[in-house]
Structures are given as structure tokens and as C-alpha cells.
Amino acid sequence: MTKNRRFWIFYTAIALTSIFGCNAPPENPGPQYGSSPVHGDVPVYNLAIHPLYNPTKLFSAYQPLVDYLNSHLEDAQITLEASRDYDTFEKKYVNRQPDFLLPNPWQTLQAMESGYQVIAMAGEPEDFKGIFIVRKDGPIEKPADLKGKAVSYPSPTALAACIMPQYFLHQNGVDVNRDIENRYVGSQESSIMNVYLGLTAAGATWPPPWRAFQRDHPQEAAELKVIWETEPLINNSVMARNDVPAGVRKKVQQLLITLHETEKGRDILAGMDTARFIFAEDSDYDIVRVFVAQFEKEVRPIEEQ
């Protein structure tokens, strides 16, 4: 089977799964794109996750966490909300729609401006780094080899999968505004698949989606390799909108940061490719402000792409 045919089969399957999943009957629910108050006797709060994966895969990975939270919450229930792309997700928190968020660190800073507060960090800081994927049979050996070629990223606001990789290239003598063609392709999987198909010379992503891609698509992954990685920064946050009752916020926070202490919790974390949730607050993300300021000074504005 040719690479192009495998690509279209791969993405047609994702598209069909998403379409039918979103319209499935109650006994076989698919990804949720908004809150649904199915528990009329208690308040329902929605948790919106930034687009780590396509919506169907994200729902599969994070619904067990939501089920766990709901089994331990007496006066509240949580529903899971996926987004089709970064822009859709970002508009949601700008408009204060979700009650809880799991954004990347750059989005964390933006969400603070809309009245969200950090209650935890999702994963070890060391795992939050950008990685470059290239074909094993390709010509790329050093950053300068990318000059005149295209590089794929999920989104211009993806911190680990775009901003940090672009800063890495900048530090290694590549002018990302002139020397290369930047292609923002919508998702982590697309960034990787563009490399597999030879549409881009390199693709930026970060460790969890790459590990998932290796598990889910071993044939394609076997033709690819990680060639460079950035320094780590700080991992994704979990945030609560500032009008969520303190009791609910505290209970969710406690359930998250103790999740790794039980076998069931560790299984849930493994499904999300997250080591554990760690207590965190707004000030822990000051390091991101410093990094972003340096990036925008030396490379490009983030929000004008």
C-alpha cells in the first residue's frame, strides 16, 4: 500500500469516527463539544482540554479521568469538552465558557487574563519539551539543512510543539521568518504525518503525541525518528474559572494531585500519557512569561500569525 493511500485511510478513519462519535446514541457516546447537564440534581461543570489529540482519541484518553472525578464528587459533576483545533479552544476560554481547563503553558497565561486560576500541573516538567521528527531516509542532519524547506507545527500558539522548536532553530542559526516555510497544520498528528508523507522536511511535536503515534501507527513511525529536542520548560496546567465554588475547586484539585497514589489512578494516568498531577499555582508559570517575552523579542509575535 502506498504512503498516500495509507494517509487517506488513516485520516478518513479519524474523520468518520469523529463524525459518528459526535452523533452516537447515548449508550455509545462520542466526543463532547459542549457541556451537557445530564445530572439535573447537582451542578454540572465542563472540563475543556486543549487539542492534544484528535477529538475521538482525546475523549478516549480523558473520559476515564472525568468518570473518576464524578465518582468522588458528591455535590458536582464534570463533563468533558473537546475542541477541533487550537483556535476553537482558545476562543472558549477567552469567552469564559469552560469551568475547568487543561491548557498548554502559553494558553495558561492567556486564560489568567480571562479569570482562570491554576490548580495543578499535568505531568512532570521534564516531559514538556519540543521535539523534531524527520524521516530516517531523509537528508536532514543539522538545523541548517532545513533552510529553504518546510517545517510543520500543530499551531503557532503550541508552546512545546511550535514556539519552543522555533526558538531552538533561532538559537541554531535558522531565521524562522525567512529561511524556512512554516506550516501550521492543525494537530500534533498532522505535524508528524506531514513528515511521513514528505510534505515537510521536519515536523515539530512533543513527547506524549509522539509516543501515542508510535503506539497507534507503528508502521509509519518506524520510518521516522527524533533528531533534536529542546530544553524542557513547565508542563500543561489545570485551571478553574474564578467563579467555580471554592469547595468544588479544592475537591477537584485534591483528587487530581492524589490520583497517582492508587493503581486505578495510575491506569487512568497511563491512558492520558501523564505521569501525575502536581500541585501548582499561577506564580509557577512566571517562567513562561519570561520565555515568551524573550521569544517575542528575538523571533516573532505569537498572536499575530
Average pLDDT (234-251) is 97
Residue 237, all three cell numbers: 496546567
The residue type at 176: V
Tens digits of residue pLDDT in 68-96: 999 999 999 999 999 988 889 999 999 99
β-pairing verdict for 150-153 and 202-205:
parallel
pLDDT of 24 reads: 34
Strand-pair category, 77-81 with 224-229: unpaired
**What is the pLDDT at residue 9?**
45
pLDDT digits (tens, 9 = 90+) for 104-139: 999 999 999 999 999 999 999 999 999 999 999 999
Q: What is the pTM of this model?
A: 0.79
C-beta of residue 51 within 8 angstroms of C-beta of residue 83 = yes
Contacts of 144 (CB under 8 A, 6+ apart): 172, 173, 174
**Residue 41 scores a pLDDT above 90:** no
Q: What is the pLDDT of residue 85?
A: 85
Complete domains list, the chain, with CATH? 31-119+235-293 (3.40.190.10), 129-231 (3.40.190.10)
DSSP state of 201: S
Poorest-pLDDT segment among 15-19, 174-178, 285-289: 15-19
Average pLDDT for the chain: 88
Beta-carbon count within 10 A of 125 CB: 16
